[in-house]
Amino acid sequence: MAKEKRGSGEVPLRQTLAPYDPDPEQGLTQEQVKVRLEAGWSNDPGDPPSKTEKQIIKENTLTFFNLIFVILAVLLVVAGSYKNLMFLVIAIANTCIGTVQEIRSKRTVDKLTLVAEKTVKTLRDGVFIGVRPSLLVRDDIIELSAGDQICADGVVRTGEIQVNESLITGEADAIIKKPGDELKSGSFVVAGRSRAQLTQVGPDAFAAKLSAAAKKDVHATQSEMMRSLDRLIRVVGFALIPVGCILFYRQFKGLEMHFTTSIETTVAALIGMIPEGLYLLTSVAMAVSAMKLAQKRVLVQDMNCIETLARVDVLCVDKTGTITESKMEVQDLVPLDPEKDSPEYLEQALSALYSGEEPENDTGKAMAERFSKADPWRCWARIPFNSQTKWSAAQFDNEGWFVVGAPEFILGYKYESISNSVAPWSSLGCRVLLVAQYNQKPEANQALDPEAVRPMALVVLSNRVRASAPATFRYFAKEGVSIRVISGDNPMTVSEVARRAGIEGAERYMDATRLKTREDFDEAVKNCVVFGRVTPDNKKLLIQALKRAGHTVAMTGDGVNDVLALREADCGIAMASGSQAASQVSQLVLLKSDFAAMPNVVAEGRRVINNVQRAAALFLAKNIFSLLLALISIAVVFPYPVKPIHLSMISAFTIGIPSFFLALEGNRERVKGRFMAGVLRKAFPGGLTNLVVILMAVAFVVEFQLPTEQLYTVCTALMSLTGLLVLYQVCKPFTPQRWGLWAAMALASVLCFFVLPEVLEFVVLDKKMMLVLMAVFLMTPTVFLAFQRLFDLGDLLHDKIKKRLEERRKLYEFEE
């Protein structure tokens, strides 16, 4: 079978296919499906859900820095300096370990992705079956209902649905789609039920074209940490070649050093400038974190969210399905006028409304279970529930229109007439629905006329608070993550449920229908914890207000009404048991649909990013020193005092091995500030200390004409000490394990000088050189401490200036 390249994969080569109009009651036959699959008309976009194993191997091996390593190794071989090739062995080991780990992670996540993928209800041979989206074909008949994401372009054949296209067009209002209307992939159904015929599949679909365009802008999809590392690598890569060429020329011609020595010192300078392993360590850490979360049944759909999780300080949650269990029960039916509307008549009306119809949400399921008696009423028309209007309606022969939904939305300004009947139930944490007659035809997506509403009864529903919820919210309070409860329910109801779940500030609630302007939302998120009667658009606006206030926001949700907010949040987290659209737009999916998994999820994000920052500080201290020393060596013309083999030893015991063990540790502190700024702040004191003490040692050698060969041994000892001081700082606060790690690295560094002097090309120091070493060695901790205090003072000054500017800004806003 001929194939074509599509994305990064291959699919059957497309062949011409005649237009076809399948019966919406039968769909395609299996034979017709087979023909379309063989003709290349499947919905497979070609791109796999993650990088292929070949791509991982290629990206980890064929890098710019690995090319530089190979070139440097060739130069050392030409110069006959074989011992100094140790850096290449370490680089190969790093690449192999990282590649294997990333492939293992990919396989674990891919398996979970396959398990988590939701099927599409597809009509074939007159029978509905579940089909994976990638196996759908052109002309398939699929059934769409509330919460479904449209996975390919199509046209409505039967039924009527309301579609939200905001994810692809920005249009926030739901659009009614009737037979003959086109459907765009990437949009999602908010209400109704219909059958649609797929017309454009795979790369021809609207969403696939948008996705292909977005993938061309790689940097737009990178996290702040990865973008920072990319910029660092570009800067180093730009400086590497010219600095190396000039340094070799100055050593070989300016100082008339031997060719082999000039090559060795130049290679040492360049190796020191390369953050070898840092980018790989970061990528592997993220991949391994995704694998660990996958083992806990948490699917990572976007690697960037791991960094976001580490920075989250506000978590927005829904009430139903998050704080409480998803299953609801009808607790009571309360007639408002028993003489006019008997309980029997109300039971009959509600049975007519809910029996025989497939429920669209948890409330509908509870109502259908309770009011399931067969009724003789004939239904003429239905308007499905909509999260924006918060009511549904049906028209019955000889009985007229009935509406069921949120009392405040049905009655509008007349809500006060029944508020005293609703309040006692809301104060108990129950959901309250209003059943009413409506004496005119209601319009979908439009507010009802309160004058045309006749209230009949209240339906009281309840669901239990999850047993694990109080402990989960206590964890977040302890970790400095504040909670906001955003629900479509009555604010008093939500407040009571939040109080029972142990959420701090649950008594500070707000009716979101009162929020009209941007300023209203900004003020509300500062003062309130619970928000009730929130529409899908208002959920999105609340998330935006929290982000404007400087918060990093995560949002959990499971329903179609959460989709816009999940997309807007810095990190969207969906429950797998919820709507397909919610899972599609989220970065994380909790496959067990258990909010109790969230502490582990957040803790994993913090562990990874904090440990990467620690490791990065160790790497960059060496890079800063090497770059500055190379530039000074070029300007002043003195022998570069480090050899590659010495740098390999220092890197192994003060960077490589410690960073590996530190990366495995738990670290639950919330990540604050910008990644690169924080890393450079920790790295600069060590890098500058190295520079100062090495320049002092070089100055002694040049001034007193001491042996240059002994300088390499002295500088290696001084750099080892500085590396251990940086490691000491990074290990704070110390634990028994960290003390053991630091002591082991210090002991290993010392033993190298006494056990492997010939292998590492160390020489015995004469008395003068020993005095130089002792003098500078004793000064090194003081120099390091001085730089630490200097940077601490800079931090303090920065914080004061920032605080003063913030005070002035608030004063200006107050005066305005």
Residue 579 tokens read as: 């709507």
Phi, psi of 182 (to 5 degrees): -80, 150
CA distance linking residue 22 with residue 733, whole number of Å: 69
CA distance linking residue 781 with residue 762, whole number of Å: 23
CA distance linking residue 117 with residue 661, whole number of Å: 35
CA distance linking residue 121 with residue 32, whole number of Å: 18
Q: Spell 314-331 as b/e; 16+ CB within 10 A means b.
A: bbbbbbbbbbbebebebb
CA distance linking residue 763 with residue 792, whole number of Å: 39
CA distances from 272 to 245, 677, 719 (A): 15, 21, 12
Residue 172 tokens read as: 């926030």
Phi-psi region of 489 (alpha: psi -120 to 50; beta: other; left: phi over 0): beta
CA distances from 805 to 547, 672, 800, 810 (A): 20, 19, 9, 9
Give the DSSP H or E segment for 10.
strand 9-12
Residue type at 158 in one-letter notation? T
CA distances from 657 to 360, 475, 654, 744, 745 (A): 55, 33, 7, 10, 8
Alpha helices in 120-223 (DSSP H): 166-169, 206-216
Q: Could you say which of 140, 153, 313, 318 is catalytic?
A: 318
**Catalytic annotation present for 558:** no
Question: Quick one: the chain helix, strand, coil %, rounded to 5?
Answer: 55, 15, 30
CB 731 within 8 A of CB 742: yes
Residue 59 tokens read as: 């990206």
CA distance linking residue 410 with residue 192, whole number of Å: 19
Count of Cβ atoms closer than 10 Å to residue 179 Cβ: 14
Q: Spell 569-584 as b/e; 16+ CB within 10 A means b.
A: bbbbbbbbbbbbbbbb
CA distance linking residue 669 with residue 430, whole number of Å: 37
CA distance linking residue 578 with residue 585, whole number of Å: 12
Which residues sit opposite 42 in a β-bridge? 137
Residue closest to 693 by CA, chosen among 705, 683, 685: 685
CA distance linking residue 304 with residue 307, whole number of Å: 6
CA distance linking residue 647 with residue 723, whole number of Å: 11
Phi, psi of 709 (to 5 degrees): -60, -30
CA distances from 275 to 69, 73, 785 (A): 12, 17, 25
Which residues sit opposite 122 in a β-bridge? 129, 142
Residue type at 190 in one-letter notation? V
CA distance linking residue 239 with residue 206, whole number of Å: 43
Give the DSSP H or E segment for 163.
strand 153-164
CB 536 within 8 A of CB 566: no
CA distance linking residue 746 with residue 659, whole number of Å: 15
In the β-sheet with 431-438, what is the strand arrangement from edge to edge? 329-335, 453-462, 431-438, 400-405, 391-396, 379-383
Radius of gyration for the alpha carbons in the chain, expressed in angstroms and rounded: 33
Phi, psi of 800 (to 5 degrees): -65, -45
Catalytic residues: 318
